[in-house]
């Protein structure tokens, strides 16, 4: 009899739906957790360093590496000509070189690499490389790219109905433009890889990566090897946030190249300054929209262009831009809509995945439009939101053709409004602002609908491997990677639930392409959904074998066997028996029962036509709502988030303790993107915010002093997710949009009369001050 994935029994310690601590929590806090740079250095280890382009765009006429090669301690120097396979690190397309050959396309592009006996020697030698580059004109901004028609690929269009005609017929209409910036991942552990050459040309790579299989594929491509000659392992990462999905692959490829050439282990660890200039970031976006609406605030039509800064190469931009387009609607029904996505090619680092993967850049469009519609009509944004929410059984289909069948929008909004005391605080803040000319407070709300699944259907699959040893201990391996988010403990809880044993009986081992092949990245918030199901399938296969053996051994029907509380209960008339799980494992081994199994899972129901941009790209939606309160200083532009109230849909949470931590962390990271994390390039294309002294991420004092987080209760997933749970990694980041709406609310309060607020993100003190002055000037002008 199989375990029931819809019904957790929870009789053992640490099964699903229980708050368990992260499996490495103690090691994280004591410093005992081992990361790649902490591993004991193997004999003969060489350290690597990169030679990076100092020019944003130029013709690479010559590379003189003689001085670098002659530098003390140098063992090997490589450039494009030394690559035995293909000089191509593109994750899904082609022609994205590992080392520049004839042209450099951004400051920080790798040109060569050095391997030396020490890290200091390698970095010193890298500085001796001489690059002869003929400078060419560089495109450094989205505006310049649009002006020159510089795109990475043709425009993408998602549409329904006739937005142009509907706009012409709309009773009311407005247009606006704004922009949001990119964001540096700023993982605590930087990019690092350790390559170990083995027998017969095999190479083992320890990589800080979210995507071991892609590291395997890229390294094999660059080296000209088969995939089975490369084994990639990762026990844990010190943060990733999407920045180690494609970027980690080329870092590992460099280490593998040098290891292959020298026959010695090679470690490449990027210093923070190199990490920030050489690796991609969240895409910055420019928006231009035209929206039509009626007197009640109902949106009748939307025509919007989203221009993304893709950087110098394609990388993962199609997926990011595609997800942005499919999230423009957010929680709102728009009958006639046209969303045009432009992937701008600039001479900056190629931008890449970042937590939310385009979703955050998509949902801000309608929030901005809602606020401006409310201003025109003299209504509150909350009233305008309410008349535009997706319905249940009516107005319930997204622009790309997927039904919103599990609609929790109104429930989340009602709960967060109630728990935040919205009405009372709205009145209090209005009164405060009337009496305080300098410090102004603002209150903002944001509802969320976020789709869960990879944009590419084939990526929605996972494998797992489970062993039960004859002493009853269990070993678990799966294709997911642990980056601090708690995936390992969640999947272990699934296995513990299947066998009904305590969580401490499960040992999760490092992710390895040698144990579970052909894995998808741990991304798109799908880690628990995919790997949890794969592990369940593997564990349940073994459990069924054990149950079948026990039935035969004790001469009872199979349905008389029950796994419960670290034991196996045998129901027999007049003679119920209880056998320890450990003992049954021993008996099964003696009875020659296989106690090892693979498991596989593929997400059902999803399909997607990327050309028509129609289908069902998401297995389900995750919902949430947030209320934020802020204060701004109208003389300096400084801001503070005073309070945040969050309600997040987690389905039936696998681990409430881990999920709460994910919600809090994601919100803080989203808050940083929208308020203080500013990337700034100078006129020569050099990133000047290339370290913690110039790039400001949120600190402990930036977290709201009143921070109320609630998991939506009694809301099991409608679809057959693992134990009816829902993804949690990305959705809460977008709840920080409430901070952006609150800042605009505070800025608007400086005006004597209602004035629309334009506030680009990140909302730095400079931008807030400019917005305050603009609103004041507009208010005075309206009086005159």
Catalytic residues: 730
CA distances 55 to 52, 182, 694, Å, are 9, 21, 21
Quick check: 257 and 292 in contact, CB under 8 A?
Answer: no
DSSP alpha helices (H): ranges in 102-211?
119-126, 142-148, 163-169
* Distance (Å, whole) CA 195 – CA 205: 4
Q: Do 163 and 303 meet the contact criterion of CB atoms below 8 Å apart?
A: yes
CA separation for the pair 740, 672 (Å, rounded): 11
From CA 205, how far away is CA 213, in angstroms rounded?
11
Residue (of 446, 405, 520, 328) closest to 732 by Cα position:
446
Buried b (16+ CB within 10 A) or exposed e, 457-466: bebbbbbbbb
CA-to-CA distance for 218 and 227, rounded, in angstroms?
9
* Burial class of residue 432 in the structure, from the number of CB atoms within 10 Å of its CB (0-12 exposed, 13-18 middle, 19+ buried): middle
- Indicate the burial class of 263 (C-beta count within 10 angstroms; 0-12, 13-18, 19 or more): exposed
Could you tell me the two tokens for 674? 């929208």
Burial of 101 (0-12, 13-18, 19+ CB in 10 A): middle
Q: Are 33 and 245 in contact (CB under 8 A)?
A: no
Cβ proximity of 777 and 753 under 8 Å: no
Residues 423, 421: Cα–Cα separation, whole Å: 6
The residues with which 116 forms a beta bridge, in sequence order, are: 47, 74
Residue 478 CA to residue 527 CA, distance in Å, equals: 10
Query: 513 with 230: CB under 8 angstroms?
Result: yes
Q: Report d(CA 422, CA 16) in Å as an integer.
A: 34
Task: Report the alpha-carbon distance of residue 443 to residue 93 in Å, rounded.
Answer: 44
Q: Are 344 and 152 in contact (CB under 8 A)?
A: yes
Q: Which strand (E) or helix (H) includes residue 629? A: strand 620-633
Contact in structure between 288 and 338 (CB atoms under 8 Å): no
CB atoms within 10 A of CB 143: 13
For residues 564-598, one letter each, b for 16 or more C-beta atoms within 10 angstroms of the residue's C-beta and e for the rest, the string is ebbbbbbeeeeeeeebebbebbbbbeeeebebebe
Q: How far apart are CA 137 and CA 347, in angstroms?
A: 9
- What's the N-to-C CA distance of the chain in angstroms? 80
């Amino acid at each position: 009899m199989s375990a029931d994935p819809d019904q957790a029994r929870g009789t053992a310690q640490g099964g699903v739906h229980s708050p368990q601590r992260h499996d490495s929590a103690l090691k994280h806090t004591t410093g005992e957790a081992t990361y790649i740079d902490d591993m004991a250095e193997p004999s003969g280890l060489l350290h690597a360093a990169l030679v990076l382009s100092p020019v944003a765009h130029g013709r690479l006429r010559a590379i003189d590496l003689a001085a670098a090669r002659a530098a003390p301690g140098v063992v090997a120097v490589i450039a494009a000509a030394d690559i035995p396979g293909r000089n191509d690190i593109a994750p899904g397309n082609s022609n994205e070189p590992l080392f520049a050959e004839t042209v450099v396309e951004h400051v920080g592009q790798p040109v060569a690499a050095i391997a030396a006996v020490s890290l200091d020697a390698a970095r010193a030698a890298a500085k001796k490389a001489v690059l002869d580059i003929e400078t060419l004109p560089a495109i450094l901004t989205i505006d310049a790219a649009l002006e020159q028609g510089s795109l990475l690929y043709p425009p993408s269009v998602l549409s329904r109905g006739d937005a142009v005609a509907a706009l012409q017929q709309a009773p009311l209409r407005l247009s606006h433009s704004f922009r949001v910036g990119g964001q540096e991942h700023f993982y605590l552990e930087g990019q690092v890889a350790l390559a170990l050459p083995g027998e017969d040309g095999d190479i083992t790579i320890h990589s800080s990566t979210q995507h071991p299989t892609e590291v395997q594929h890229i390294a094999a491509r660059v080296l000209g090897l088969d995939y089975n000659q490369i084994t990639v392992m990762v026990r844990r990462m010190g943060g990733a946030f999407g920045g180690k999905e494609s970027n980690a692959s080329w870092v590992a490829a460099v280490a593998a190249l040098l290891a292959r050439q020298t026959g010695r282990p090679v470690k490449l660890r990027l210093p923070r300054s190199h990490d920030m200039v050489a690796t991609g970031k969240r895409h910055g976006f420019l928006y231009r929209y035209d929206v039509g609406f009626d007197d009640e605030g109902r949106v009748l039509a939307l025509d919007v262009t989203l221009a993304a800064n893709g950087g110098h190469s394609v990388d993962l931009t199609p997926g990011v831009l595609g997800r942005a387009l499919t999230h423009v609607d957010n929680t709102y029904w728009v009958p006639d809509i046209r969303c045009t996505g432009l992937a701008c090619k600039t001479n900056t680092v190629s931008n890449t995945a970042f937590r939310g993967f385009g979703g955050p850049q998509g949902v801000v469009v309608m929030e901005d439009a809602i606020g401006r519609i409310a201003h025109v009509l003299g209504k509150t944004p909350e009233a305008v939101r309410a008349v535009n929410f997706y319905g249940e059984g009516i107005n319930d289909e997204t622009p790309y053709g997927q039904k919103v069948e599990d609609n929790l929008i109104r429930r989340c909004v009602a709960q967060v409004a109630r728990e935040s005391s919205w009405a009372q605080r709205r009145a209090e803040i209005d009164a405060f602002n009337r009496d305080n000319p300098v410090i102004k407070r603002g209150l903002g709300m944001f509802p969320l609908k976020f789709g869960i699944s990879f944009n590419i259907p084939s990526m929605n699959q996972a494998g797992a491997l489970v062993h039960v040893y004859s002493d009853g201990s269990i070993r678990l391996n799966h294709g997911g990677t642990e980056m601090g988010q708690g995936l390992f403990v969640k999947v272990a809880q699934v296995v513990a639930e299947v066998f009904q044993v305590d969580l401490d009986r499960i040992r999760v081992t490092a992710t390895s392409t040698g144990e579970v092949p052909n894995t998808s990245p741990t991304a798109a918030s799908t880690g628990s959904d995919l790997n949890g199901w794969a592990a369940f399938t593997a564990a349940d296969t073994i459990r069924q074998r054990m149950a079948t053996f026990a039935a035969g051994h004790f001469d009872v029907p199979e349905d008389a066997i029950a796994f419960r509380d670290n034991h196996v209960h045998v129901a027999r008339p007049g003679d119920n028996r209880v056998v320890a799980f450990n003992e049954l494992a021993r008996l099964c081994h003696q009875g020659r029962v296989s106690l090892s199994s693979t498991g596989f899972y593929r997400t059902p129901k999803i399909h997607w036509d990327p050309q028509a941009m129609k289908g069902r790209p998401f297995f389900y939606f995750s919902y949430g709502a947030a209320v934020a309160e802020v204060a701004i200083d109208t003389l300096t532009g400084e801001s503070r988030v005073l309070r945040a109230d969050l309600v997040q849909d987690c389905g039936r949470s696998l681990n409430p303790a881990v999920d709460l931590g994910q919600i809090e962390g994601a919100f803080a990271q989203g808050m940083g993107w929208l308020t203080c994390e500013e990337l700034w390039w100078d006129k020569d294309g050099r990133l000047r915010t290339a370290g913690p002294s110039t790039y400001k991420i949120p600190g402990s004092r930036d977290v709201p002093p009143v921070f109320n987080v609630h998991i939506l209760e009694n809301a099991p997933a409608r679809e057959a997710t693992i134990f009816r749970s829902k993804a949690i990694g990305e959705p809460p980041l977008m709840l920080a949009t409430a901070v952006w709406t609150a800042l605009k609310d505070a800025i608007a309060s400086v005006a004597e009369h209602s004035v629309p607020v334009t506030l680009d993100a990140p909302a730095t003190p400079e931008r807030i001050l400019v917005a305050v002055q603009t609103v004041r000037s507009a208010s005075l002008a309206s009086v005159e």
